[in-house]
Amino acid sequence: MAVTGINSEDRLVQTTFAEHLETELGWDSVYAWNQETFGPDGTLGRKDTTEAVLLRDLRAALHRLNPDLPAPAIEDAIRSLTVYDVSRSMVQHNRDFYRMLRGGVPVTYRDAKGRQKSARAKVIDFDNALGANRFLTVRELKLTGMRTPNYNRRADLVCFVNGLPLVFIELKAVYKNIRAGFDGNLRDYMDENVIAHAFHHNAFLIVSNGDGARYGSITSTWEHFNEWKRLDEADEGSVDAERLLNGMLAHDRLLDLVENFILFDESKAGTARKVVARNHQVLGVNRAVASVARQEAIKAEIPPGERLRHRVVELPLERKTPAKRKRGDQALLAAEPSLPSFVPEGPVDIIERAHPDLGRLGVFWHTQGSGKSYSMAFFAEKVRRKVPGNFTFLLMTDRNDLDSQIYKTFVGCGVAGNDTPRAASGDDLERILKENNQYVFSLIHKFNKDVDPKKPYSERDDIIVISDEAHRTQAGRLARNMRLALPNAAFIGFTGTPLFKQDQITKRIFGDYVSRYDFKRSEEDGATVKLVYENRGEKLGVAKTNLNDRIAEKIEEAELDPDQAALLDKLLGKDYEVITADERLDKIAADFVEHCATRWESGKSLFVCIDKITCARMHQMIVPRWRAKAAEVRAAADAKQAEADAAADETLRLVLAEQAQELAAQAMWLEETIVEIIISEAQNEVADFKKWGFDIIPHRALMKQGFNTGNGERIDAETAFKNPEHPFRVAIVCAMWLTGFDVECLSTLYIDKPMKAHTLMQAIARANRVYPGKDFGLIVDYNGMLASLRAALAQYALGDDGTGGEEIIAPIEERVQALLEAIEATEAHLRSLAFDPSVLLGSKGFVRIKGLKDAVEAVYSTDEAKRRFEILARQVFIRFKALLMEPSAWAHAERHDNIEAIYKKLTERRDTADVTELLKELHRIVNEAIRTQAPGDDQAEGLTFDLSQIDLEKLRDEFAKKVRRKATALQDIRDIVEQKLAEMLARNPARMDYQVKYEAIIADYNREKDRTTIEETFRRLVELVNSLDEEQKRATKEGLGEDELALFDLLLKDNLEKTSRERVKQASRDLLASIKARLAELDRFWEKEQTKADVEVFILDEVFANLPSPPFTPDEKKALAASVYAHVWQQAVNGGFAQAA
């Protein structure tokens, strides 16, 4: 027991706080307990202890700050600021009073001439913190309840500004946990029947024991009480009370917080949540606002007509030696060694900004889950209030869900109104931007109209574009149109993930980081919870560690929207087949149900699949197992209860009864839980899902109409999932809800979709939100993404490449010359192929379409011609990006776009090939041209033929006569044959002869290219396809499956009698069955020497047991066993023999 009391709450903590506020931060200080006198001339001017506002100070401040207002208006303002309405809650009072203290109190009065006037009485001078305001801290202030006068409480410290109690500080002894101050004191004080009126004007609450300290709002749960660790973003961070006092209660910092960093979020119906910005948000937003102020200062120095400067540069420039090349542009400007050197000559007009930072406000990187949407709102509102000007903010996103989320946040916080414009189309956006709106919301896709630089949508220089997830869709045609439409706008990029190595273009567009708050800091600060990773795919044997990277890279290369699943199987080939195989999904579904059932008290779950169809298939697999699990747990609960009822021992009976209750609660949770798919709508989806035996109609109705609440009303799916009490607890998704969707009660993310970099980090961040009782978010991996996760986390924690080095940008004239070199080299290559690219300049309509077709036909003339064009074109794209958003790029945009159109036309042909119906497509390629081509119509896309009815002579003649774009048609057939060969060889390596034949045909084709060669190549390819068709039928003729045929081809020897041949055929069947059965018992046998040896010996034994002797000798059997093992090993590693996966 303490003897002296030197460590007590009063003598150590409270006194220390009061003295620091007074001596270090300039506050007046009064000790009130048992010393306060009452009345107008009393200590604080209060009439009694029910008064929480110091009316004497408030009246003096209003007169001081509003010298032009008459006394009656001042008294009206006081009444408005102190009225107590018993029908309104503490939060409602607080919201209404806050709006008045920040924006002024509306008053009316009559002037000296009797005319009625309206004004706003200023309550606090936010621009002159010390000179015009009184800062007073009162210790031990006695307060009495308004509703129940017999409730008295003693407040440790209350901080008044101009008589209003803005900060309430609850203190505990230095050796006590500060949470006791919240649970035991603040929650009691804020009860409507206690002294809730003392918090009607509260800005924020502080709890401390003199060592640690946290702050929150009157609506905050304890989990949302935060620390204040830094006074500057560069600080390491220190958790102590002194840092919080200095950061929050210094006069200018406190008024900045009160004026600019408080919001009331009413986006959730029926609730108002008071948001006080976190430390990192305040520091980051203030840096961003400072960037706007710097931008305005630059504009003030440079007249509007002089912000773009022209200068003429004579090309070629003097070449720099490689040693002098800047690191950031070395790769960008260096041509590939195989490319010809085309050095442009003569004068070129260079257009550049008069200042490099004009239009660039920076990149605001605050990690996912740290309140980025609120930061946008704080930023925009502070700029409107504190930076002179009439700003319009264009909130730009690239996804509907993000657009909706940000719009709801801004409207819910009162920053924007329900009538705030949201662009519905490109024309609508153009109209809106010509108006003078404070806020505009739009998808970047609405900039879908090519913009004439001479006819922008708006030339205003006070438009600020806030781009969410700034690394995406900010370096292409849409982004270029946006900047042409708004040539004088300023751009700031917000992102929840860092700029990876491939994102350096983002810095060129927006500028460097204006604020950084990374994953590590966020977790340390408690802004997000930690994430825990569990690899269950490896345990099940369903994870394909190399598949994740391969598939993720394919998706990334194709630049597909995540919902464009129709092309996935075409792009990914066998990898897609493996990851969506029935047996694999079945194992995952079973494991998911078991795992999720064990976490039944931990929150909601999101299951992520590769595409929409797989979402539906997983739903079909999960739901029956879920119901079976619920029935199993219910039966266990009943059995346990029966056991308890039969127990003779009372202690045992109580233990068993408690276990029965636990099982019954789990069973009820399982029975109530709704498992549903959430996917975006697509055309023809009813028919597409029907092919898989899935009726999408009732699920689409639920996604659109929501759930029945039981009282005749409905709750939409998103709201239901966010509500911790609603039984919609498991959502199966592929793209929706992976970005811009915050669910605090989401605790587990199950991932079976290959992802990497930004996409991966955005997805896993769904589980890192803070929620009561949630210690961590769990990431369950089924597809082997650990390597991708480690790589992403390394940059997610560090940003950039981890080196801290800055990219150095080459002078603009160097980048212009590099672009012209690439364009002219590409155009020269096209001319060498007998296509003049100048015919595309200024062309429109069918003339342009024909020109693009002619270009594609020329490029397809040889493999080398096509390869060379693709290399040259990619250099054009890379170098154009180096100039993107620079006015100098506009002069060369059409030539770039023409090359891009040819390049995309080439890739379009590959993307649209239907590999699932390969031979049928090949049939159509020729026949349709024969049947349907109109005079002058030479589209190769119309060719089809039926192999089963083919007349090769007639086909060759028709191809020669009817098809003009022969190189293009031939490329179609080559693409199809190559894909088919790859599939067939993967199943049976004995078919290598067909690959050799194909390569010989193409080698002959590439040696000499003329009309006759093309026609002959076509004939030979048709014959090869006919052979492939026959080969595919061989398994059926032999009475074998494809895998059995592969073994049969390995085991078969020449000159076997019919009886021996049939025995080999049966041996192939038996051998395959025994191998599959053995491999099903092993987990990835090829990864361990022991299991590899076991399988090798097993196959040797099986070959000896199944092959007849004679005609096979022991040495032959050994050699064949080795061949079979090599085949089995290759198939298993590549995803074949699913039983072994």
Q: How far is the C-alpha of 292 from the C-alpha of 637, rounded, in Å?
A: 63
Angle at 361 between CA 356 and CA 364, to 5 degrees: 135
What pLDDT, on the 0 to 100 scale, is given for residue 1097? 85
Query: Beta strand pairing status for 28-31 and 135-144?
Result: parallel
Specify the DSSP element, H or E, that contains 658: helix 650-672
> What tens digit of pLDDT does each residue of 979-1037 get?
655 655 555 555 555 556 555 665 655 555 554 555 566 666 666 666 666 666 666 66
What does the DSSP 8-state code read for residue 226?
B
CATH number for the segment(s) 530-627+671-785: 3.40.50.300
Q: How far is the C-alpha of 342 from the C-alpha of 663, rounded, in Å?
A: 77
Per-residue three-class SS string for 1063-1097: HHHHHHHHHHHHHHHHHCCCCCHHHCHHHHHHHHH
- Within 13 Å and on the Cβ side, how many CA atoms surround 969? 31
Q: How far is the C-alpha of 952 from the C-alpha of 359, rounded, in Å?
A: 64
Q: Which residues, given as ranges, of the chain have pLDDT below 50?
A: 1-4, 7, 321-339, 545, 547-548, 555, 557-574, 796-808, 911-963, 1011, 1138-1141
Residue extents of the structural domains in the chain:
9-276, 356-525, 530-627+671-785, 812-908, 915-1035, 1042-1140
Angle at 1042 between CA 1041 and CA 1046, to 5 degrees: 115
Q: Rg of the chain over CA atoms, in angstroms?
A: 36
CB atoms under 10 Å from CB of 1101, counted, come to 12
Torsion of CA 760, 761, 767, 768, to 10 degrees: 170
Q: How far is the C-alpha of 464 from the C-alpha of 83, rounded, in Å?
A: 40
Q: What are phi and psi of 720, to 5 degrees?
A: -65, -40
CATH number for the segment(s) 9-276: 3.90.1570.50
Specify the DSSP element, H or E, that contains 651: helix 650-672
What pLDDT, on the 0 to 100 scale, is given for residue 525? 73
CB atoms under 10 Å from CB of 1031, counted, come to 15
What pLDDT, on the 0 to 100 scale, is given for residue 335? 40
What pLDDT, on the 0 to 100 scale, is given for residue 670? 94
Nearest-CA neighbor of 807 among 468, 518, 506, 517? Answer: 506
Distances from the Cα of 867 to the Cα of 858, 860, 969, angstroms: 12, 9, 18
Query: Beta strand pairing status for 213-216 and 204-208?
Result: antiparallel
The CATH fold of domain 356-525: Rossmann fold (3.40.50)
What pLDDT, on the 0 to 100 scale, is given for residue 130? 76
Count H helices, E strands: the chain? 42, 26
| C-beta separation of 362 from 513 below 8 A | yes
| Number of residues assigned to the chain | 1141
What pLDDT, on the 0 to 100 scale, is given for residue 59? 97
- Within 13 Å and on the Cβ side, how many CA atoms surround 156? 28
Enumerate residues 6+ apart whose C-beta is below 8 A from 566. none
Q: How far is the C-alpha of 1024 from the C-alpha of 1030, rounded, in Å?
A: 10
* Fold agreement between 356-525 and 530-627+671-785: yes
**Percentages helix, strand, coil for the chain, rounded to the nearest 5?**
55, 15, 35
Q: How far is the C-alpha of 96 from the C-alpha of 2, rounded, in Å?
A: 46
Query: Residue 280 is encoded by which pair of tokens?
Result: 């990192």
CB atoms under 10 Å from CB of 999, counted, come to 11
Query: Beta strand pairing status for 116-121 and 135-144?
Result: unpaired
| C-beta separation of 22 from 16 below 8 A | no
